[in-house]
Structure 1
Amino acid sequence: MEKIKSAYKKINLADWKRKEHFAVYRSQMKCGFSLTTKINIAKVLPFIKENGYKFYPVMIYLIARAVNKHDAFKMAMKEGELIVWDYVDPIYTVLHSETETFSALTAIYDKDFTRFMANYNDVGERHADNLHFFPEQPPENHFNISAIPWINFDSFNLHIADFTDYFAPSFTIGKYKKQADEILMPIAIQVHHAVCDGIHVAQLIATLEEYCENIETIIKSQV
């Protein structure tokens, strides 16, 4: 599918309620933070099984839909100005079992689940045998997702040496585990503090939990 260039809006820093926090965490005290939590996916797994979907792309869609609902996770610097993209595409890692390496692919985000899955499948087919880190140039408007499906972790942190003005968030999901009546999937979120605070991460997590709880409503109504 042909990529349509994402539009954006500029942030008027003079009137922005977070202008002081942005300045401090961007320049004076460059800072990001990570948070790991666990999401109940007890409604997600049977829905996937009943409809013949794969777990990873469904979770990518749910995370992407949650990210695109919140401006704090769509910010970037462009031509020296702070902007908010209209939408951001997920860059996600896929494993090459024969080499134990991975590639980072990008599926065009679409709120419609059927169209998103078509985009995801198209990318996977085109780059199935490509072992490069980036089989194609990633878009400017992006965020990051990776998976460690072999480990049920309690904490995960990415140590980025220099992420100056790199505001795209990163998500890492792990092996899910049954606990009482819940099936809990660990998810680690890393953000740049210049554009994102704890309250914004909490809001995104609440959105993702809502989508996982009501997956049949938000997906099946579209297919």
Structure 2
Amino acid sequence: MLFTPIDLQSWPRGQLFYYFSKMAPTGYSMTVNVDVTELRRATKEAEIKFFPIYLWLVTKNLNQQKEFKVAECDGVLGYYDALTPLYASFHEDDHTFSLMWTEYQERFLDFYGLYLANQQQFGNAHGVLCQPQTPPPANAYTVSCIPWMQFQHFAVHSYENKPYYFPSVEAGKFFERDGRTFMPLSLTCHHATTDGWHVNRFLEDLKTDIMAFAQYL
């Protein structure tokens, strides 16, 4: 993974970053309902799993903006060239989950192959981490879902006192409205790195990719 340092003096968000990270540390979250009618149809026609599609689409569109990829590495502020999805693998036997990650790939089918390989190798491994031999990569961000419930809002907040600027993304149970299928989607972000403008651009690009997902198969 490539890490590029940020010069706070020349970065347009430099003063905003300092204010919202040092003077008034602030995060925010919001939940929107995303139309996934066409995406579910394409998924069923191609006979592929929905969850890895969701992981890939969210990660692909977060990766379009460097503000979502900001982090500290050895005390240096910068951004990674790409984020890696860190997600929950649910265990039916004891109703617990373990964290798993699959390195992002630009081609969906490449990512899908890695996802399936991870599931086959580590899917039954219990404990906090499915892949205990290696820690999650430094560019891993949290993205998951609660498929059993529909929610109007969901927020994840870290209470550990450390600099963490990646977004957290959570999806909920599908629901029907006016003949369309929707999915609740919650984003929790750090205000030091992103504003509503960035979230809106992410959501608009995500909607475009959802509508035309068949082109990635």
Matching residue's letter, 2:5: K
| TM-score (normalised: structure 2) | 0.95
Kindly indicate whether the alpha-carbon contact (under 8 Å) linking 1:68 and 1:74 is maintained by their aligned counterparts in 2: yes
1:182 paired residue number: 180
Secondary structure of 1:171's aligned partner: strand
Alignment size in residue pairs: 214
Report matched runs for 1:53-92 at 5 Å: 53-92=48-87
1:25 paired residue number: 20
1:215 paired residue number: 213
1:3 paired residue number: none
The Cα of 1:163 is off from its aligned counterpart by 5.3
1:192 paired residue number: 190
Secondary structure of 2:56's aligned partner: helix
Kindly indicate whether the alpha-carbon contact (under 8 Å) linking 2:68 and 2:167 is maintained by their aligned counterparts in 1: yes
Report matched runs for 1:90-105 at 5 Å: 90-105=85-100
Q: Distance in 2 between matches of 1:171 and 1:187?
A: 7
Q: Distance in 1 between matches of 2:128 and 2:77?
A: 28
Secondary structure of 1:15's aligned partner: coil
Kindly indicate whether the alpha-carbon contact (under 8 Å) linking 2:36 and 2:183 is maintained by their aligned counterparts in 1: yes
1:10 to 5, 12, 31: 5
Per-residue CA deviations over 1:7-59 (Å, capped at 9, x if unaligned) read 12111111111111100111111111111001100110110001110111111
Kindly indicate whether the alpha-carbon contact (under 8 Å) linking 1:26 and 1:164 is maintained by their aligned counterparts in 2: no
Q: Distance in 1 between matches of 2:187 and 2:51?
A: 17
Structure 1 residues 116, 163: CA separation in 2 closer, same or farther (over 3 Å shift)?
Answer: farther
Secondary structure of 2:142's aligned partner: strand
Q: Percent identical across equivalent pairs?
A: 26
Kindly indicate whether the alpha-carbon contact (under 8 Å) linking 1:143 and 1:168 is maintained by their aligned counterparts in 2: yes
Per-residue CA deviations over 1:72-131 (Å, capped at 9, x if unaligned) read 111101122211101111001111011111011000100101110111011111112210
Q: CA RMSD in A?
A: 1.1
List gaps (5 residues or longer) in structure 2. Answer: none
Kindly indicate whether the alpha-carbon contact (under 8 Å) linking 1:9 and 1:83 is maintained by their aligned counterparts in 2: yes
Q: Distance in 2 between matches of 1:57 and 1:139?
A: 18
Kindly indicate whether the alpha-carbon contact (under 8 Å) linking 2:30 and 2:187 is maintained by their aligned counterparts in 1: yes
List gaps (5 residues or longer) in structure 1. Answer: 1-5
2:105 paired residue number: 110
Q: Distance in 2 between matches of 1:191 and 1:200?
A: 10
Per-residue CA deviations over 1:167-215 (Å, capped at 9, x if unaligned) read 1111000001111142110000011111111111111111111111111
| TM-score (normalised: structure 1) | 0.93
Kindly indicate whether the alpha-carbon contact (under 8 Å) linking 1:60 and 1:90 is maintained by their aligned counterparts in 2: yes
Q: Distance in 2 between matches of 1:79 and 1:58?
A: 33
